[in-house]
């Protein structure tokens, strides 16, 4: 993903899935498309997982993303 939307939410009381759902809703309202990829810092993933799926959205750990931030958008076609 070369282009996406950066979303910040560092509230420790909010689960990662809720943070991602809020970011997805905002992305859909802003761009009129449903995102399919969300990159997060590895420390935000449970049990050291590298990838999760939330419906059709792939959540992938990516070290350059700062903790508390989500980089969400459409995955580049290969």
Residue 8 has pLDDT above 90, yes or no: yes
Number of domains in the chain: 1
Give pLDDT, residue 24. 96
Residues 17-66: tens digit of each pLDDT: 999 999 999 999 999 999 999 999 999 998 878 999 989 999 999 999 99
Residue 78 domain-assigned?
no
Structure tokens, 41: 């810092």
Give pLDDT, residue 76. 86
- Residue 72's pLDDT band, with cuts at 50, 70 and 90, is very high
Please give the Cα distance from 37 to 72 (Å, whole number).
Answer: 6
Residue 78 has pLDDT above 80, yes or no: no
* Residues near 70 by beta carbon (within 8 Å), at least 6 away in sequence: 6, 7, 8, 9, 19, 20, 23, 38, 39, 40
Structural domain span for residue 27: 4-73
Taking every pair of Cα atoms in the chain, the longest distance, rounded to a whole number of angstroms, is 37
């Amino acid at each position: 993903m070369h282009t996406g939307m950066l979303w910040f939410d560092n509230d420790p009381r909010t689960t990662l899935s809720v943070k991602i759902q809020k970011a997805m809703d905002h992305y859909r309202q802003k761009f009129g498309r449903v995102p399919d990829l969300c990159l997060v810092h590895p420390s935000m993933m449970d049990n050291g997982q590298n990838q999760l799926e939330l419906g059709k959205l792939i959540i992938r750990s990516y070290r350059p993303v700062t903790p508390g931030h989500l980089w969400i958008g459409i995955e580049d076609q290969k």
